[in-house]
Amino acid sequence: MSEATGSVIERLKTSLPDGAVITDPGSMDAYRWDRANDPAAGVPLAVVRATSTEDVQAVVRLAAETGTAVIPRGAGSGLSGGSTAVDGAIVLSLDRMRSISVDADTRMAVVQPGAFNAEVKAAASAHGLWYPPDPSSFEFCSIGGNVATNAGGLCCVKYGVTTDDVLGMTVVLADGRAVRLGGPRVKDVAGLSLTKLFVGSEGTLGVITEVILRLVPPQLPPTTLVAVVPTLEGATGAVIEATRSARP
Ligand SMILES: Cc1cc2nc3c(=O)[nH]c(=O)nc-3n(C[C@H](O)[C@H](O)[C@H](O)COP(=O)(O)OP(=O)(O)OC[C@H]3O[C@@H](n4cnc5c(N)ncnc54)[C@H](O)[C@@H]3O)c2cc1C
């Protein structure tokens, strides 16, 4: 290990809570790949398991000062290699930041990025509410990852994708500043929508450390209708016709 590398690791350990910094190669392996399984995944300098916005700020500030790359990481379910480690980088895992707080009166939730999509759905459901975005990976992907990739699932045709339910967020910028974008009210929209800019930015613009999500009343019980259409053109036409007057 070079002197410079050793110094970055020491400074990380000094500025972060005990146990937050992992440098043991065996333990770091769990944070090197996502579901893209890139055979060229690198070996990071360290993995940091942040517990707060302040932890994230400390990591990003040190990385900016020392020119060290940072890979934000949610649950590692991505299929495009976005959280794959590169040599000498700091993998910044949000998997320990998982608190969820629901305000049923204003129908919104304040969620830390490491909470799974399924956990947010369950927390909303406990208050008689629903969080619509439903990537197929909802049981094992994080809200931070969903926001960073603007995830959407089958329900997006009717209910939209993640960006449609993000009211605001706290994000740590590349120089370590933490900024709040948007806000808890649907009408917190004055000025350019920086919230929208950060949704789908895949960690390239900053690290999301808190998200404010819109919740909605639960779905009505579904009704299934089966139609047999003899041609592809007919089926397409039927879908277009039906969606002109209803949102199935
Ligand atoms: C079986 C399967 C089914 C899937 N189905 C769908 C689907 O239906 N729809 C869909 O959209 N995707 C789907 N995915 C892909 C994946 O689950 C989503 O992209 C998901 O949103 C990633 O979340 P994650 O927490 O695992 O993020 P990760 O994989 O850890 O990271 C994804 C990207 O977001 C960045 N990132 C993560 N957290 C943060 C943060 N807090 N701040 C800033 N950047 C961050 C990472 O750097 C990376 O670029 C599927 C994947 C699998 C394996």
Q: Atom 49, ligand 1: which residue's CA is nearest?
A: 82
- How far is residue 75's CA from residue 33's CA, in Å, rounded to a whole number? 10
Q: What CA dihedral angle connects 247, 108, 54 and 83, to 10 degrees?
A: -20
Residue 202 CA, closest ligand 1 atom number: 49
* φ, ψ of residue 180 in degrees (nearest 5): -105, 130
Q: Collapsing DSSP states into helix, strand and coil, what is residue 170?
A: strand
Instruction: Please report the DSSP string for 136-160 in residue order.
Output: TTTTT-BHHHHHHHT---TTHHHH-
CB 239 within 8 A of CB 247: no
Cα(77) to ligand 1 centroid in Å equals 5
Classify residue 73 as exposed, middle or buried by CB count within 10 Å of its CB (0-12, 13-18, 19+): buried
Tell me which residues have their CB closer than 6 angstroms to ligand 1.
34-35, 71-79, 82-83, 94, 113, 135-137, 141-142, 144-146, 148-149, 151-153, 202-203, 207-208
Q: How does DSSP assign 49-109, residue by residue? A: E--SHHHHHHHHHHHHHHT--EEEESSS--SS-TT---TTPEEEE-TT---EEEETTTTEE
pLDDT at residue number 98: 98
Q: What is the pLDDT along the chain (248 residues), one digit of tens a residue?
A: 677 777 999 999 999 999 999 999 999 999 999 999 999 999 999 999 999 999 999 999 999 999 999 999 999 999 999 999 999 999 999 999 999 999 999 999 999 999 999 999 999 999 999 999 999 999 999 999 999 999 999 989 899 999 999 999 999 999 999 999 999 988 888 889 999 999 999 999 999 999 999 999 998 898 898 989 999 999 999 999 999 998 88
CA distance 61 to 246: 50
User: In this structure, which residue's CA is closest to atom 16 in ligand 1?
Assistant: 78
CA of 165 to the centre of ligand 1 (A): 16
| Predicted local distance difference test score (pLDDT) of residue 85 | 98
What pLDDT is recorded for position 187?
A: 87
Q: Which two tokens stand for residue 244?
A: 């002109």
Looking from the CA of residue 34, the nearest atom of ligand 1 is 29
